[in-house]
């Protein structure tokens, strides 16, 4: 029943009761007594409903209010309607939460909701199977206390979630788990974890296969190279044979370079361990690289400008850095025409240390730049073949950069030239003192 409340009616009714009781009292000669009795009765009536209300709210688990009259009908009805609307909203909210949880349970990944301090708020059943996180028992625990991994600890401390974090399962060293953190809502993270052991195993098999095949090809290639050289040294071979043998020699050398690059690539593709990095005297390393490749410059006579900070060293893997730097320098020489200019620079700039190779060569179109570091991607296949290119150089540079927390940046304009830069964090650099340069 819906009570319509009117303040006017209520006041008029109260006044009429008091007036009637006053008149009757006056007529009987007990004016004040009559007023007192009526006021006390009204109070008792109100107390009755007030106590009824308290009993209903606190002691009875009923949705519907007890029978009531007058102004108390309005009070009971108002409270009843509020409760009903709250219950409806709560039901809808529960339904939404259930739908959201069912959705999270249906995910193929382990899903954990964390607060801003990485304490667990909720997790699905797969999180229990994969990471041993149980909900609600583990609610409030910090994720790094339950999933014990130094890699995860470091990742969470760094607060950079742009890349996923790969850890070895704390339960089984065979199992590799990949985790992603996403900030959502205002104050929570969604952490998704999946078992990537199979993918990693296949990746490793592919890498091992390429490395093994390349390794096996090395010996026959060396033998072929030897025999071709011996045959070319003979004075009595015909001009036709000499030409054929020259072609064989060129192709064998190309194949040999390809095999060498494949071996380097399979090595640098594996993320480097932190402790495999050492202080590298990069200025000295660049001197060596320039010595190795200067013969390439003889034919084309490039103008080469070198600006190297002689005191700037970097934490890294020397062989990898050598390979990356020489790939960039050789590319600049290969793809820059006769008389072009090449600027090689190694310096500190703000929070970064930059190794850059700038040339005035053929340049690369915007479309090709994005695909350049893919394996075997060449802008111009015939030109790359002419230069003896394998199409693996920039893929190697990209992996080396990733292994050094660095980034490969490419700027280029068609027919104007290109700048390839490896951007290292300055926090990995060190100042070379005399003693170190003597040792290196
Ligand atoms: P390659 O061994 O063929 O040079 P890379 O991986 O080193 O393979 O380079 C991939 C492709 O990028 C090359 O084939 C070439 O087309 C282009 N490229 C690389 N460096 C330069 C450069 N300095 N100027 C113009 N093009 C370049």
Which pLDDT value is given to residue 275? 77
CATH value at residue 128: 3.30.450.20
In a domain, 387, yes or no: yes
Predicted pLDDT at 73: 86
Q: Categorize the per-residue pLDDT at 2 as very low, low, confident or very high, splitting at 50, 70 and 90.
A: low
Peptide bond into 431 cis (omega under 30): no
Characterize 287-296 residue by residue with b for buried, 16 or more Cβ atoms within 10 angstroms of its Cβ, and e for exposed: eebbeeeeeb
Closest CA to 122 of 108, 133, 132, 131: 133
**Spatial CB neighbours of 354, under 8 Å, sequence gap ≥ 6:** 345, 346, 347, 348, 421, 422, 423, 424
**Residues within a 6 A CB radius of ligand 1:** 327, 331-332, 335, 359, 361-362, 364, 372, 377-380, 384, 389-395, 418
- Cα separation, 65 vs 76, in Å, equals 6
Task: Please tell me the predicted confidence (pLDDT) of residue 186.
Answer: 84
Does residue 1 belong to any structural domain of this protein? no
**Residues 378 and 235 occupy one common structural domain:** no
Q: Are residues 122 and 209 in the same domain?
A: no
Residues 89 and 116 in one domain: no
Q: Whose CA is nearest to atom 2 of ligand 1?
A: 389
Distance 286 CA to ligand 1 centre (A): 20
pLDDT single digits (tens) 294-334: 887 788 889 999 999 999 999 999 999 999 999 999 999 99
Across the range 141-161, mean pLDDT stands at: 91
How far, in Å, from the CA of 351 to the mean position of ligand 1? Answer: 28
Residue 406 lies in a domain: yes
Query: What is each CA distance from 345 to 128, 175, 307, 312, in whole angstroms?
Result: 52, 43, 5, 12
Model pLDDT for residues 239-268, shown as the tens digit of each residue: 999 999 999 999 999 899 999 999 999 989
Residues 6 or more apart in contact with residue 331 via CB below 8 angstroms: 357, 389, 393, 394, 420
Beta strand pairing call for 417-425 and 407-413 = antiparallel
Do 212 and 352 share a domain, yes or no?
no
Last residue of a domain, one of 172, 195, 218: 195
Looking at residue 10, its pLDDT comes to 84
pLDDT tens track for 280-290: 999 999 999 99
Q: Given pLDDT bands bounded at 50, 70 and 90, which one contains residue 435? A: very low
- pLDDT-derived band of residue 439, with 50, 70 and 90 as boundaries? very low
Does some domain include residue 147? Answer: yes
**Mean pLDDT across the chain:** 89
pLDDT tens, residue by residue, 8-27: 888 898 899 989 999 999 99
Tokens describing residue 435: 């003693």
419 beta partners: 358, 411
Q: Are strands 120-123 and 110-115 parallel, antiparallel or unpaired?
A: antiparallel
**Structural domain count, the chain:** 4
Residue 243, both tokens: 């030409």
CATH number at residue 218: 1.10.287.130
Domain of residue 179 covers: 108-195
Are 237 and 258 within one domain? Answer: yes
Residue 21 is assigned to a structural domain of this protein? yes
For ligand 1, the distance from its centroid to the CA atom of residue 364, given in whole angstroms, is 9
Reply yes or no on whether the pLDDT at 437 is more than 90.
Answer: no
Asked whether residue 292 falls in the same domain as residue 382, the answer is yes
Measured in angstroms, how far is the CA atom of residue 331 from the centroid of ligand 1?
Answer: 6
Task: Answer whether residue 66 shows pLDDT above 90.
Answer: no
* Model pLDDT for residues 41-60, shown as the tens digit of each residue: 999 999 999 999 998 888 87
If asked whether residues 189 and 205 sit together in one domain, one would say no
The domain boundary residue, chosen from 39, 73, 100: 100
């Amino acid at each position: 029943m819906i009570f319509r409340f009117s303040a006017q009616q209520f006041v008029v009714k109260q006044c009429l009761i008091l007036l009637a009781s006053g008149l009757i009292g006056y007529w009987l000669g007990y004016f004040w007594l009559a007023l007192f009795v009526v006021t006390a009765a009204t109070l008792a009536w109100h107390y009755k409903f007030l106590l009824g209300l308290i009993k209903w709210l606190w002691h009875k688990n009923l949705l519907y209010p007890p029978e009531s009259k007058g102004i108390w009908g309005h009070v009971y009805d108002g409270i009843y309607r509020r409760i009903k609307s709250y219950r409806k909203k709560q039901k809808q909210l529960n339904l939404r939460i259930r739908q959201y949880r069912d959705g999270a349970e249906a995910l193929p990944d382990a899903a954990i909701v964390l607060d801003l301090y990485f304490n667990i708020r909720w997790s699905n059943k797969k999180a229990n199977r994969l990471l041993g996180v149980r909900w609600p028992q583990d609610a409030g625990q910090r994720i790094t206390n339950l999933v014990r991994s130094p890699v995860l600890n470091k990742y969470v401390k760094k607060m950079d979630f742009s890349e996923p974090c790969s850890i070895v399962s704390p339960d089984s060293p065979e199992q590799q788990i990949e985790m992603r953190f996403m900030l959502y809502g205002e104050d929570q993270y969604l952490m998704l974890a999946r078992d990537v052991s199979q993918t990693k195993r296949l990746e490793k098999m592919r890498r091992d296969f390429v490395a093994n095949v390349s390794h096996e090809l090395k010996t026959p290639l060396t033998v072929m190279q030897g025999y071709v050289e011996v045959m070319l040294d003979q004075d009595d071979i015909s001009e036709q044979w000499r030409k054929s043998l020259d072609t064989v020699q060129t192709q064998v050398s190309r194949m040999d370079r390809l095999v060498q690059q494949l071996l380097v690539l399979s090595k640098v593709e594996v993320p480097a361990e932190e402790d495999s990095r050492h202080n590298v005297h990069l200025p000295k390393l660049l001197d060596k690289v320039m010595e190795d490749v200067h013969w390439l410059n003889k034919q084309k006579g490039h103008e080469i400008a070198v600006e190297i900070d002689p005191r700037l060293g970097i934490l890294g893997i020397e062989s990898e850095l050598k390979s990356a730097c020489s790939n960039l320098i050789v590319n600049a020489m290969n793809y820059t025409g006769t008389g072009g200019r090449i600027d090689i620079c190694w310096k500190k700039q703000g929070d970064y240390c930059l190794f850059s190779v700038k040339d005035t060569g053929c340049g690369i179109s915007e479309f090709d730049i994005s695909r350049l570091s893919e394996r075997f991607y060449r802008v111009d296949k015939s030109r790359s073949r002419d230069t003896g290119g394998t199409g693996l150089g920039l893929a190697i540079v990209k992996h080396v950069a990733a292994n050094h927390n660095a980034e490969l940046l490419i700027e280029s304009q068609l027919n104007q030239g290109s700048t390839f830069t490896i951007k290292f964090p300055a926090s990995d650099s060190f100042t070379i003192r005399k003693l170190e340069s003597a040792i290196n």
